Amino acid sequence: MRRLALALGLALLSCGGTRLPGEKCKNHGDCGSLPDGYCARAEICTRECDDARPCPDGAACVWGGGRQVCLPTCTKDDECPKGFFCGGAGEPKVCHLANPLAPPPAD
């Protein structure tokens, strides 16, 4: 199901659709179609979130990097971008950067 959602998201991108949290980026402009989105140091699109600004479907609001951000939800590691793992103390699980101090993962 997650792969279908990712495929649909990629198809929407080719038609000018909205970026989803967790999609690869190189600069903030790459995430411009995600409302208030930016390219995180790990080179994935995200945005800040809270109860008043929940994350889009397929993402969850979690504490990370000194603020609450939208990260993609997952059930297993291979649903996450390269350099990330699926985990978390609660539900839903989200994709976390495997080594936060390393340079961004290469393609």
Question: In terms of residues, how long is the chain?
Answer: 107
pLDDT score, position 8? 34
Average pLDDT value for residue range 1-28: 57
pLDDT score, position 104? 61
Interatomic CA distance for residues 12 and 66, integer angstroms: 31
Asked whether the predicted pLDDT for residue 1 surpasses 70, the reply is: no
pLDDT in tens, 20-46: 888 989 999 999 888 889 998 888 999
Helix (H) or strand (E) holding 9: helix 2-14
pLDDT score, position 77? 95
Strand runs (DSSP E) across 53-104, as ranges? 59-64, 67-74, 84-87, 93-97
pLDDT score, position 88? 82
Give φ, ψ of 46 to 5 degrees. -155, 180
